[in-house]
Amino acid sequence: MSSHSESDFDDVLKTARKTMIEKHLRQREITDPRVLTAIESVPREEFVPQDSRRFAYNDCALPIDCHQTISQPFTVAFMCAAAQLTGNETVLEIGTGSGYGAAVLSQLAREVHTVERIPELASQAAERLQRLGYDNVHVYTDDGTLGLPQAAPFDAIIVTASSEQLPEPYQEQLNEGGRIIIPLGSESTGQRMYRFTLHGGRLSEEILGAFVFVPLIGKFGHPSDRPE
Ligand code: SAH
């Protein structure tokens, strides 16, 4: 490809990003201007496999390595908006995957800690986030159902894989007023996005909508019984 057509392709992607924000986010009730600006600033094409770059701004999940997926932009925007971030927060993301969600969160919070259980994905994401200059993101390889005690407490915990119940360790790693955004449910009942908010030592819960996620696998999630 000549450099001319490469820059044409970059322009096409930029236009596609703007169209996606208009059509799939703004028109579907994502109105938080900070979230829209964050999505607009992150080049999603850098987080998908080379041969999917031209699909980067279709509003859908796409396969990445290790049988995992990069979340749909609408879902990323929805979870970020649900977390009600103002810019000063310390955030924990569970399920780094491609690193895209962490990159978006890095534009909305002060510090982002993100945990991935598959070492290969964690190291690819860490390399990519560093190359793209997302300096306030820290990537860890571990079982994220344990939370991340060494970096706690958090103002928000965002879980990008689904579990049947809320992993126990999260509550004690949350600041007063903190939020946990997590899809809960089983394959038979379907998954709902929950927001838990901590007030006076108690979590209140709200159900925000129906979504589909890959399973959260770990001590306080699904057992690891299927091959990766
Ligand atoms: N936020 C990601 C979406 C990744 S999909 C993105 O923007 O690309 C969910 C990810 O959660 C997968 O990579 C999966 O390996 C990971 N995962 C599943 N169970 C986990 C656990 N217990 N701890 C950490 N990561 C987990």
Q: What is the CATH number of the domain that holds 67?
A: 3.40.50.150
DSSP alpha helix (H) spans, the chain:
3-20, 33-41, 73-82, 100-106, 119-131
Identify the pLDDT of residue 3.
Answer: 56
What's the gap in Å between 61 CA and the centre of ligand 1?
13
Residue nearest to atom 4 of ligand 1 (CA): 97
Residue nearest to atom 10 of ligand 1 (CA): 95
What's the gap in Å between 74 CA and the centre of ligand 1?
17
Tens-place pLDDT, residues 150-190: 999 999 999 999 999 999 999 999 999 999 999 999 878 88
Q: Is 170 among the domain residues? A: yes
Identify the pLDDT of residue 95.
Answer: 98
Tens-place pLDDT, residues 93-135: 999 999 999 999 999 999 999 999 999 999 999 999 999 999 9
Q: Is 111 among the domain residues? A: yes
Q: Is residue 75 in contact with ligand 1, taking CB distance under 6 Å? A: no
% residues pLDDT > 70 (the chain): 96
Residue 127 to residue 139: CA distance in whole angstroms? 10
Tens-place pLDDT, residues 46-87: 999 999 999 999 989 999 999 999 999 999 999 999 999 999
Residue 216 to residue 140: CA distance in whole angstroms? 16
Q: Is 54 among the domain residues? A: no
Ligand 1: residue of 59, 92, 143, 217 to mutate (most ligand atoms within 8 A of CB) is: 217
What's the gap in Å between 6 CA and the centre of ligand 1?
31
Identify the pLDDT of residue 218.
Answer: 96
Q: Is 37 among the domain residues? A: no
**Does residue 208 register a pLDDT over 80?**
yes
Of these residues, 3, 71, 162, 186, which one is catalytic? 71
Nearest to 61 by CA among 8, 98, 110, 19: 98
Q: Is 71 a catalytic residue?
A: yes
Q: Is residue 145 in contact with ligand 1, taking CB distance under 6 Å? A: yes
Q: Is residue 70 in contact with ligand 1, taking CB distance under 6 Å? A: yes
* Domains identified in the chain, total number: 1
Residue 29's φ and ψ, nearest 5 degrees, are 70, 20
Local structure of residue 23 (DSSP, 8 states): I
Kindly give the interhelix angle for 73-82 and 33-41, rounded to the nearest 10 degrees.
140
Q: Which domain holds residue 137?
A: 61-225
